[in-house]
Structure 1
Amino acid sequence: MRAMTWNVWWRFGGAWREREPALLGVLADARPDVLALVETWRDADGTQADLVADHLGLPSAVFVPTGLPPVPDDPDLAGVEMGIALVSRWAPVATRTVPLPAAQRPGPPAHALHATLDHPAGPLHVVVATLEWEPRYAEDRMAQAWALADLAADAALDGDLPVLVLGDLNARPDGPQLAALTRQLADLWPLGGGDPAAVTLSSVVPEAPLEATELIDQRIDHVLARPGRAGGTLRAGGARLAGTEPVGGRYPSDHFAVVVDVELTS
């Protein structure tokens, strides 16, 4: 099974329509079975996730609004929501939205999306999330990492298949947030043979948020997993980045995507 996560930069930067064909092209080349979208949009006509699902020929798209990052106060963007989404080859039999801790940041909290997919081999649990990124809300980010780890570790999710956590977690490989997450979950990037020097938020991209000094030129987008049962094993391969080149002089997003092939045994 091919898992993929991509922060697709919402409608930031003003040229979102021009970026959309490149986004869809990268996704079509990657051919994910399970795709997490972060900083994705919903407007009065529908969701970006639905457009992606149609383009990829995948039957399921679930969108959840979330408070991260806040929607800009721009009249041209009025009514457009910020969210996370899951596009998948298998339809969900259940979904739930789980608020993440936000004691510091005002406004709507961040959320995680937990979907139980109807995979032929059994229920496949997938969690999509994004965590706080601003240094002034560092306590929130740490609390969110612990909460996300606990959500994925819940014994109610045990079964024959691994539990997946996908998203822009704003967690660098050597940081405390990923350390908290990997107490319960495995980072599939090294397990899948990914380049140790890879970054997903690169200063090469002209639109990259250089002010995010803790996160820039780091691998902060992740595919994590745990075995479906205690003592189980995880196998992954083909870990790689996507969306790393400009198309028509423009990068599809300010983040690169992460792709990992996961063996569905536990």
Structure 2
Amino acid sequence: MRAVTWNVWWRFGGAWREREPAIADVLKGLDPDVVGLVETWSGEGITQPQLLADDLADHHAAFVPTSLPPAPDPPEHSSQAGVEVGLGLISRWPILTTEVHDLPHGQRPGPPPAALLATLDHPRGPLHVIVSCIEWEPAYAADQLAQSEALAALAADPRLDGDLPVLLLGDLNADVSQPDLAPLLAVLTDTWSLAGGDPRAVTLSSALLEAPLEATKQIDRRIDHILARPGRKGAQLTARRAFLAGTEAVNGRHPSDHFAVVVDLDV
């Protein structure tokens, strides 16, 4: 099973239309089974996950709005007006159910950020996948830790037990060495490390023209993750390969300000 997580940078940066074909081409080249999208969009009667799923052919999609990151208010340009920021899921298998779980946000004002929990109709049984993005700003560090704890509790929920692993895909705004992820790593495995992925890999690179250099806690770190736990106690996870995608510029512009994380898992 090929799993992908990618922060696709919403309609930020002023050239989202130019980036869209490159995002689609990267995903088509990967031929993924499950994709978690962060900073994806919904507007004008369509969602970006659905467009990308249609482009992959025979894939299914889901979208839920979230408050992280907040949409610009006022919009930076007209194509952002009325367009939601959200979380997306693309699946080779039908999406049986979806749930939206609010995450704690005692520090940041406004509506709560979300986690999308979906159950997929995998041939070997229900496959549970969580997609989320958690806080990044140092001023809201307590929120980030509380959100990490909430995601860990959701991923460890016994009702998700089964024959297949439970997956968490998303931009978690910390690398595995930072304490923000400790609650998650207590119950989930970093599949990048499990598969022998390059320990020097970064998903938010200062080498990109679009790099958010102000994000000093995250820049030049691997902050986008595919975490997993076995579906049953005593079962083992196996990951064969881990690599980054979307690392090449197209016509001088990268598809996103993040690189995609790709992990091949045995189920």
- TM-score of the pair, normalised by structure 1: 0.98
Match among 203, 221, 238 for residue 200 of structure 1: 203
Indicate which of 225, 235, 244 corresponds to 2:238: 235
3-state SS of the aligned residue for 2:14? coil
Moved beyond 4 Å, runs of 4+: none
- Number of residue pairs matched by the alignment: 264
1:137-152 correspondence to structure 2 within 5 Å: 137-152=140-155
Q: Are 1:129 and 2:118 counterparts?
A: no
Tell me the residue number matched to 2:37: 37
Verify: 1:53 aligned to 2:48, yes or no.
Answer: no
Question: Structure 2 residue aligned with 1:117, among 117, 120, 128?
Answer: 120
> Shift of the alpha carbon at 1:55?
0.7
Equivalent in the alignment of 2:104: 101
Contact 1:131 1:141 in 2 (8 A): yes
Which residue does 1:24 correspond to in 2?
A: 24
Instruction: Give the equivalent residue in structure 2 for 1:14.
Output: 14
Identity of aligned residues (%): 64
Query: Which residue type is aligned with residue 46 of structure 1?
Result: I
- Match of residue 257 from structure 2: 254
Determine the C-alpha separation between the residues in 2 that align with 1:180 and 1:202: 25
CA distance in 1, matches of 2:7, 2:260: 7
Q: Report what 1:185 is aligned to.
A: 188
**2: CA distance, partners of 1:32 / 1:63:** 18
- Determine if the alignment matches structure 1 residue 67 to structure 2 residue 67: yes
2:111 maps to amino acid: P
* 8 Å contact from structure 1 (residues 172, 219) kept in 2: yes
Measured after TM superposition, the shift of residue 59 of structure 1 is: 2.8
Q: Is the 8 A contact 1:222 1:258 kept in 2?
A: yes
Q: What's 2:226 paired with?
A: 223
Find the aligned partners of 1:50 and 1:173 in 2 and give their Cα distance.
31
Secondary structure (helix, strand or coil) at the match of 2:28 reads helix
Provide, for residues 33-68 of structure 1, a one-character-per-residue CA deviation record: whole Å limited to 9, x for no partner.
000010000002200001100111133100000000
1:72 alignment partner AA? P
Residue 158, structure 1, aligned to residue 161, structure 2? yes
Q: Distance in 1 between matches of 2:16 and 2:59?
A: 24
Distance 1:59 1:161 in 2: 20
Question: Are the counterparts in 2 of residues 36 and 166 from structure 1 also a CA contact under 8 Å?
Answer: yes
Tell me which amino acid in the other structure corresponds to 1:2: R
- SS at 1:13 equivalent: helix
Alignment check: 8 A CA contact 1:58 1:87 kept: no
Deviation digits for residues 107-151 of structure 1, max 9, x if unmatched?
A: 111100000111110000000000001110000000000100110
Give the corresponding residue for 1:167. Answer: 170
Unpaired segments ≥5 residues, structure 2: none
Deviations 1:167-195 (A, max 9, x none): 01112121112222110000000111200
Answer yes or no: is the 8 Å Cα contact 2:203–2:258 preserved in 1.
yes
Q: What one-letter code is carried by the residue in structure 1 that aligns with 2:105?
A: A
TM-score normalized with structure 2 length: 0.97
Quick one: distance in 1 between partners of 2:206 and 2:27? 22
> What residue number does 2:87 align with?
84
Aligned-pair Cα RMSD in Å: 0.8
Aligned partner letter, 2:131: V
Conserved in 1, the CA contact under 8 Å of 2:93 and 2:122? yes
| Deviation at residue 240 of structure 1 after TM alignment | 0.2
User: Which residues of structure 1 form unaligned runs of 5+?
Assistant: none
d(CA) in 1 for partners of 2:49 and 2:145?
A: 28
